[in-house]
Structure 1
């Protein structure tokens, strides 16, 4: 698929999403749009799989009659195979296309089987389509089908990955429409429009739909204000983190994000290598947790390859038995946590002797991640600048990381206003258990390299390349990067504030005062000549001079 076709797909999907614009805010209608796109993806995926299975018999899934005894037996057999391969199952009557066609049929003396759905997305989104098309009530059937997708996984290895996956799609919400008929009308319009789009799952470029899905998540984040930080890390920041943790590697055994949001960071890491063995993540917000699981499946990551949990990472970690080769994260900035004294018995924190403050859990996340880092692993996380210089318990923890563990490998300052919902400047902290350069900490000041677009700042490819190349080469760059010795860090009392190490001071151009004086004399001479000319004109015109 070409870049223009990809943009066209994104435009169509965003156009469909706008059906709900004005009815509810972005953080609410994303649940419906992304959920329905995911439902269509599952249907298309299953049909492709089943048609391939039936090809030797000269049949397609549409040929199976689920109302006959033979058809029921065939479906049981197909369910067993597809649940093992794909993790779920849908009967022909439960497919996305089936419901979409039933929901919107041509007016006139025709039966439902003889009708054809609209095939033009733009026409469907127009306001005048209702005159030609009647609507069938499908809300109850749609609700049943979404539950059946989850039920099809009960007792199987994929049960946890599909459990309550469509929980946030409330088809009875009055925000969609005041009456049941109004709600049905809106939902049918969305399904019908989506049904006109060919997801082209047989394409060799399987990431096209996944990228379009990511695009929509980004668009929703842009309109979600402060809530955006709960589920989305801007792609350019994700790319920096992903390239850092995959430096020198083509394959990863595992990648982990303890605050995984929509899963975009995990998937961005996968784009930087040929293969990722397993994805692990944890997300506290239930809605975002559902979005992360959908995002993984829609990017063609098998349910056997990812393990994402819905829990509070700091209080109830779910993957403590694992050590990860790559860890990436964008934790909530300066979040509150319990800081319970009981956690001093937790292996993640006990060796440090102090816990992060209740009001700023930033270092608690870093301690958690470092504990789960493999000996050959790399940890890269986005944090507020305060972690670099704040005192008290955070200074104590920072000193332990530097002096006792020698784990801090690099500190990278990012521009302000990169993240949705906050304009603060942030930094990337890179940690390793076995550092190649264990005598220095690399400091990079990338705060001035950005492109301003409207109210948001963005990292362009050249800005990303500059950061990553400097990190990988570990070379000093005038006014941009500096390799500080551990002794220099000690002299600064373990304060890692970047300006202490990277001198970005620009000397002002020297001024030649004699030249300035000569210029002022010349200006005064010219001014006097001009005044003399004006006086002569005034005298000639017999008017009062202005001076």
Structure 2
């Protein structure tokens, strides 16, 4: 059975739990990623003499498994890793972590137990069967860990990872795509763990030649491992300071030039010029100006520009300060703008990067079109993000919108603009984006005339033009002319939503949205039903999402990117796991239940999907509720009806007990020490009450309560028995499912139904938004000031009259 991505992520993070307490979170990666690497190459390459990575005898993960419980496990793991490193020229790369470090892993038996548990976690993952063509499972798992390591490590240790979402944007906006040839080169002068380079390479299915330099030894080692885990073992990663000792050079000693370059250098580094004299730079990187001594942002930018071919394109992440700071940086900025090297600037949300909370921007460099460039395209994407723990994160829709708008050079209000160089020159070459794009929300101004004389301003109604374009007569249903420039509401505020929902134009709009979805569904039904072992999961979501985005561009009132986000969220939460399992195991095998076996030592924390008797079952593809809905709806309805009867009896019993509780309540004495009325406590109280005189009323009440408990017990048993019978039918149904039935359940009842419900939610949101605004306008101008003044006068007169009756005078 194929392991799901989410299960691999869970297992990897569980391995991190084994290390907590002994070391800083920033050090987990040295151990976890090393074990992940050894496990991966062992599963993939062991026994293959022609493999790119050779796994020697005594240097595999299987050798680690043999050490579980061994008192010398730490030292021997070090030796296994050393053998693998020596065989593949990976010394100083995969042997950074010391698995025999007592300070971090504990002493004696504590170390043995900790490392044994770690090895067992990795041993439970079979990574041979989980690399579908075109789907980088291990690379994704690596990124998952890196993101979590960066989050837990804090700001000072987060520099080794660039969020994958930003990396994807950079790769797409510099023109790397399916047409990029294999001999094209991509370079990152400050490559960290290599995430930017890999995302760039991912955009070119035929592959690219990868070059990176990183000055930190441990991080450069991460990058080397990362390249191998992503099946890019030929990537060249060099450890040294890029500015003072650039490694990649031509035969004549000049800097090597690349087709593409990406970078996320350390922000505002102070010691950037250590080791060389920028005023006498042999590579002529600072011909446009020398950056300030204590701020190296422009040093990295100028190095990147010099490293690009004459047709080269690059993107670099820098703090916003590079857009407006003065003095030496202003000189460099002016020279770069005048020479047309800056194609565009994209402002990103704050708190996006792990190394800093300040907002950053992407500068896009394009040498090919520089000579004739007389404009710079700017995007303010600072408001498009989601919260993810203590950081912000770009959503799929934010990424797609940025890339679409930049690559198509679309000008959108409050979001993007093409800025002529004349305007930039008039601003003294200050590139601060708020100077050119006002992304603030328009103020919702009150109309004093309307407050004084009544009516709703036509200007406020006209501001809803995007709705009236689609629902023109609805406007006249909701509003009628009053006086010049003003209208009156014709529908009470509480009736606005129903009026919208029942209007023929809105019905037609909703039906149009449904038609678009139905057409999209029909276009992809066959492909989804025809998924086979070996298909590419990532291509599945690309085909689905891109077509959905294109189709819903025609759906007025809906934001196509919001619709797209629903599909991408569902893909991330559930559907990618489903597809991944299907392309590994096929439809029939993937659909079966598997019985959960709990160890006596460690009870599984995973919740079962179905329980029959004492047996607990888990499903990878078809949850029991889908089986129930399609095949056992009548049985489920019968259970629902029995539950309603049970709930009615329970409610009647609770009301009876509450009514006759308290100090003088006849049921108070029938309660247990915990304040409950039970069958046993009633029986005991009945026995006492029979000995008392004048007990008829209490005995009747006790009898009534006892009968209700009997009825409730019987009703609960009926529900339990019916549920058990249904669960047994569901369990029996799973192995009888045909492939056609499985496809129906998964494609129609699960995937399409979930996406359809989300899109209907978007239609509901249109209703809520329009109804909310109309109601707000109605209520805002419901009573003009004169009417309110009259009300005050009338109410004041009433108060005076009451006071006079009481013999009081209000002055």
TM superposition score normalised by structure 2: 0.55
Aligned: 1:287 with 2:218: yes
Instruction: State the shift of 1:515 in Å.
Output: 2.6
Aligned to 1:275, the other structure's residue is in SS state coil
Q: 1:524 to 1:87 in 2, by over 3 A?
A: same
Bigger CA drift: 507-516 or 191-200?
507-516
How far, CA to CA, are the matches of 2:810 and 2:170 in structure 1? 68
Counterpart of 2:263 in structure 1 is: 329
Instruction: State the shift of 1:365 in Å.
Output: 0.3
How far, CA to CA, are the matches of 2:25 and 2:160 in structure 1? 13
Counterpart of 1:224 in structure 2 is: 153
Instruction: State the shift of 1:276 in Å.
Output: 2.5
Equivalent residue in structure 2 for 1:409, among 326, 330, 343: 343
Counterpart of 1:497 in structure 2 is: 432
How far, CA to CA, are the matches of 1:339 and 1:494 in structure 2? 26
Are the counterparts in 1 of residues 350 and 382 from structure 2 also a CA contact under 8 Å?
yes
Q: 1:198 to 1:377 in 2, by over 3 A?
A: same
How far, CA to CA, are the matches of 1:543 and 1:95 in structure 2? 101
- The C-alpha deviation readout for 1:152-208, integer Å capped at 9, x for no partner, is 23xxxxx3xx12113431223234344133222211110111101111356434511
Counterpart of 1:442 in structure 2 is: 377
How far, CA to CA, are the matches of 2:330 and 2:220 in structure 1? 33
Bigger CA drift: 143-152 or 242-251?
242-251
Aligned: 1:460 with 2:373: no
Aligned: 1:182 with 2:107: no
Aligned: 1:99 with 2:64: yes
Aligned: 1:34 with 2:33: yes
Are the counterparts in 2 of residues 31 and 168 from structure 1 also a CA contact under 8 Å?
yes
Q: 1:349 to 1:136 in 2, by over 3 A?
A: same
Aligned: 1:13 with 2:12: yes
Aligned to 2:237, the other structure's residue is in SS state strand
Equivalent residue in structure 1 for 2:56, among 74, 90, 101: 90
How far, CA to CA, are the matches of 2:43 and 2:324 in structure 1? 52
Aligned to 2:4, the other structure's residue is in SS state helix
How far, CA to CA, are the matches of 2:303 and 2:807 in structure 1? 86
Q: 1:513 to 1:263 in 2, by over 3 A?
A: same
Alignment of 1:276-355 (within 5 A): 276-302=207-233, 305-321=234-250, 322-339=256-273, 342-349=277-284, 352=287, 354-355=289-290
Instruction: State the shift of 1:249 in Å.
Output: 5.2
How far, CA to CA, are the matches of 1:523 and 1:146 in structure 2? 83
Are the counterparts in 2 of residues 172 and 180 from structure 1 also a CA contact under 8 Å?
no
- The C-alpha deviation readout for 1:29-87, integer Å capped at 9, x for no partner, is 1211111111111211222x53xxxxxxxxxxxxxxxxxxxxxxxxxxxxxx45xx424
Q: 1:103 to 1:452 in 2, by over 3 A?
A: closer
Are the counterparts in 2 of residues 103 and 137 from structure 1 also a CA contact under 8 Å?
no
Instruction: State the shift of 1:258 in Å.
Output: 0.9
How far, CA to CA, are the matches of 2:405 and 2:238 in structure 1? 35
- The C-alpha deviation readout for 1:236-295, integer Å capped at 9, x for no partner, is 111111111235652251111111111111111122121223111111111111111111
Equivalent residue in structure 1 for 2:794, among 507, 526, 529: 529
Q: 1:468 to 1:23 in 2, by over 3 A?
A: same
Counterpart of 1:119 in structure 2 is: none
Aligned: 1:520 with 2:785: yes
Are the counterparts in 2 of residues 320 and 372 from structure 1 also a CA contact under 8 Å?
no
Aligned to 1:220, the other structure's residue is in SS state helix
How far, CA to CA, are the matches of 1:421 and 1:384 in structure 2? 12
How far, CA to CA, are the matches of 2:118 and 2:809 in structure 1? 78
Aligned to 1:398, the other structure's residue is in SS state helix
Are the counterparts in 1 of residues 188 and 263 from structure 2 also a CA contact under 8 Å?
yes
Instruction: State the shift of 1:528 in Å.
Output: 3.8
How far, CA to CA, are the matches of 1:33 and 1:248 in structure 2? 33
How far, CA to CA, are the matches of 1:97 and 1:29 in structure 2? 22
Are the counterparts in 2 of residues 255 and 276 from structure 1 also a CA contact under 8 Å?
no
Instruction: State the shift of 1:463 in Å.
Output: 1.3
- Rg larger in 1 or in 2? 2
Counterpart of 2:197 in structure 1 is: 266
Are the counterparts in 2 of residues 246 and 269 from structure 1 also a CA contact under 8 Å?
no
TM superposition score normalised by structure 1: 0.80
Are the counterparts in 1 of residues 151 and 158 from structure 2 also a CA contact under 8 Å?
no
Q: 1:309 to 1:373 in 2, by over 3 A?
A: same
Are the counterparts in 2 of residues 331 and 365 from structure 1 also a CA contact under 8 Å?
yes
- The C-alpha deviation readout for 1:500-525, integer Å capped at 9, x for no partner, is 22233554344322332353332233
How far, CA to CA, are the matches of 2:444 and 2:109 in structure 1? 72
Are the counterparts in 1 of residues 201 and 208 from structure 2 also a CA contact under 8 Å?
no
Counterpart of 2:413 in structure 1 is: 478
Counterpart of 2:144 in structure 1 is: 215
Q: 1:338 to 1:430 in 2, by over 3 A?
A: closer
Bigger CA drift: 15-24 or 511-520?
511-520
Gaps of 5+ in 1: 51-80, 105-134, 154-158
Counterpart of 1:235 in structure 2 is: 164
How far, CA to CA, are the matches of 1:197 and 1:219 in structure 2? 20
How far, CA to CA, are the matches of 1:209 and 1:500 in structure 2? 44
Are the counterparts in 2 of residues 176 and 186 from structure 1 also a CA contact under 8 Å?
no
Instruction: State the shift of 1:214 in Å.
Output: 1.0
Counterpart of 1:193 in structure 2 is: 121
Instruction: State the shift of 1:100 in Å.
Output: 1.3
Are the counterparts in 1 of residues 291 and 299 from structure 2 also a CA contact under 8 Å?
yes
Alignment of 1:353-392 (within 5 A): 354-392=289-327
How far, CA to CA, are the matches of 1:420 and 1:505 in structure 2? 26
Instruction: State the shift of 1:311 in Å.
Output: 0.8
Counterpart of 1:115 in structure 2 is: none
Q: 1:188 to 1:307 in 2, by over 3 A?
A: same
Are the counterparts in 2 of residues 349 and 367 from structure 1 also a CA contact under 8 Å?
no
How far, CA to CA, are the matches of 1:507 and 1:192 in structure 2? 58
Aligned to 2:412, the other structure's residue is in SS state coil
Are the counterparts in 1 of residues 176 and 200 from structure 2 also a CA contact under 8 Å?
no
How far, CA to CA, are the matches of 2:52 and 2:308 in structure 1? 31
Q: 1:234 to 1:400 in 2, by over 3 A?
A: same
Q: 1:512 to 1:177 in 2, by over 3 A?
A: closer
- The C-alpha deviation readout for 1:367-388, integer Å capped at 9, x for no partner, is 1111111222210011101111
Instruction: State the shift of 1:533 in Å.
Output: 4.3
Instruction: State the shift of 1:14 in Å.
Output: 0.9
How far, CA to CA, are the matches of 2:21 and 2:790 in structure 1? 67
Are the counterparts in 2 of residues 445 and 481 from structure 1 also a CA contact under 8 Å?
yes
How far, CA to CA, are the matches of 2:54 and 2:804 in structure 1? 100
Q: 1:376 to 1:538 in 2, by over 3 A?
A: same
How far, CA to CA, are the matches of 1:503 and 1:227 in structure 2? 33
Bigger CA drift: 341-350 or 137-146?
341-350
Are the counterparts in 2 of residues 440 and 485 from structure 1 also a CA contact under 8 Å?
yes
Are the counterparts in 1 of residues 43 and 126 from structure 2 also a CA contact under 8 Å?
no
